[in-house]
Amino acid sequence: MFRTCLIILGATLVHCQIKLEKIFEECHLQMPDFEDCLKNGMNQLNPYFREGLPDYGIEPFDPFFAEEVPFKSRMPLFNFNLILRNVTESGWTLSHVSSVKMNHNKNEVAITQSFPDKRLKGWFEFDGNILGAKVKTQGPWNLSLFDYTQTLTVSRKPAGPSAPLSHHPIKVKCNLHTCKNLELHVGNLAGGRSFLENMLDRVINAAWQPGFVILSPIINELVGTAFTDIFNRNFQTFPFSAVFPN
């Protein structure tokens, strides 16, 4: 790791900013292994997911926070509206970037990461029909994903050469690939009937693979929505040309 300084204030150890220009100094845009160079540099930044990089305008995002994520399903047997509120997700510090793929024609980059342990929690509001039964409920929930992999595709559409950076929005899409195990706990799933809720909890976690087909697009929407917001707040004025030499 390269830091500009390391100081002690009273009894507190304060880490000063790293130099991203130093970490990525070998990553020239025209070099054939530019993507691998990016990947190796990104894997050095994990400790800063929790504290952010204030010198570069990047806030902490482990855990990240999403105030509201709406989701709709119109599958034949699962027709519902779901709103997730006050969601936090943690586990990014332990993640590992396995590949970086650039698409210059589309002005996008795809980053594939693995997570040994990713955890999400928040509040849900659910209204819909499940297997022909009308269900309307709300409550707390938490989800743990183990040995999980995903790809974030980050794109930025130009808004014209004279437009300010704030008019060049960043879009992030998430595509979940694999998950070896999960634990999902949903409060008030059966209107407060504890015996039925405990039974449903055991069923959900014992046979989670079929339910994962429904969970996957929800997770994709959650992460994509949250990181679209995070990237637009943090990277509108990021000094790409200074960090990545031509």
pLDDT (average), residues 115-125: 93
- Helices 208-234, 194-206: crossing angle, 10 deg rounding: 90
Q: What is the pTM of this model?
A: 0.79
Mean pLDDT, rounded, of the chain: 80
Q: Which residue, among 16, 25, 4, 24, has the nearest Cα to 54 in the 3D structure?
A: 16
Question: Which two three-digit tokens encode residue 75?
Answer: 């599958």
- pLDDT value at residue 88: 92
- pLDDT value at residue 36: 94
Q: Where are the domains of the chain?
A: 1-61, 64-239
Measured in degrees and rounded to the nearest 5, phi and psi for residue 235 equal: -120, 10
Q: What whole-number distance in Å separates Cα of residue 188 and Cα of residue 185?
A: 10
Residues 6+ apart with CB under 8 A from 209: none
Question: Which two three-digit tokens encode residue 163?
Answer: 């437009």
191 alpha-carbon distance from chain centroid: 31
Lowest mean pLDDT among 53-62, 70-79, 163-172: 163-172
The tens digit of pLDDT for each residue in 220-242 reads 888 888 888 888 888 877 777 77
CA dihedral sign, ordered 191, 206, 221, 128:
negative
**pLDDT over 50 at 4, yes or no:** no
- pLDDT value at residue 133: 74
Q: ∠ CA(210), CA(68), CA(197), 5° rounding?
A: 45
Residue whose pair of structure tokens reads 């390391």 in the numeric block: 6
Question: Which two three-digit tokens encode residue 23?
Answer: 């970490």
The tens digit of pLDDT for each residue in 6-63 reads 434 344 444 456 788 888 888 888 888 999 999 999 999 988 888 888 888 888 889 9
* CA 149 vs CA 92, 165, 175, 194, 198: distances in Å: 12, 31, 9, 34, 29
Q: Which fold has domain 64-239?
A: Bactericidal permeability-increasing protein; domain 1 (3.15.10)
End-to-end CA distance of the chain: 23
**pLDDT over 90 at 113, yes or no:** yes
pLDDT (average), residues 170-179: 91
pLDDT (average), residues 168-179: 89
